[in-house]
Amino acid sequence: MNFRKFTGALMAITLLATPAAALAVNFNDQQADDTGFQVGVFAGEFEGIQDPTQGGLINTIIRIINALLVLAAIAAIVFVIIGGVRYITAQGDEDAVEQAKNTVIYAIIGIIVIILAAVIVNFFVSQVGA
């Protein structure tokens, strides 16, 4: 197995497993308040998985689009990190440095496009009144 593929797969698994590990921590509200982390702040807005037929088709589509935008932003941030690691490990190789710079530049352009897409979608949703 190629070392780059292995490290990429390991990084992807780590990034996917981190939220699950963080949510698996057994905190109750009193322990969280004692440590300065208020679990209720985040849990107060979460209403659970809702029936799509009650929220309406438009609201369901909006939630799906926002979720996809978040996933795209996470992927772009991962590519910024990968480009940074490739830049650090280039060791003066001009081609590797150029590829790493391109990776970071394209990932930043992707983040900008994702942010603009989120702003445009949410603007139109607020104008429609869904």
Is 106's pLDDT higher than 90?
Answer: yes
pLDDT at 58: 73
Is 88's pLDDT higher than 80?
Answer: yes
Name the pLDDT band for 65 (thresholds 50, 70, 90).
confident
d(CA 94, CA 125) in angstroms, rounded, equals 46
pLDDT at 122: 81
Distances (CA, A) of 1 to 56, 76, 94: 47, 25, 26
Residues contacting residue 74 through CB under 8 Å, at least 6 positions apart? 15
pLDDT at 102: 92
pLDDT at 55: 63
Is 75's pLDDT higher than 80?
Answer: yes
> What mean pLDDT do residues 33-48 have?
54
Which stretch of 12-21, 103-112, 120-129 has the lowest confidence by average pLDDT?
Answer: 12-21
Q: What is the mean pLDDT of the chain?
A: 75
Greater model confidence, 6 or 116: 116
Is 91's pLDDT higher than 90?
Answer: no
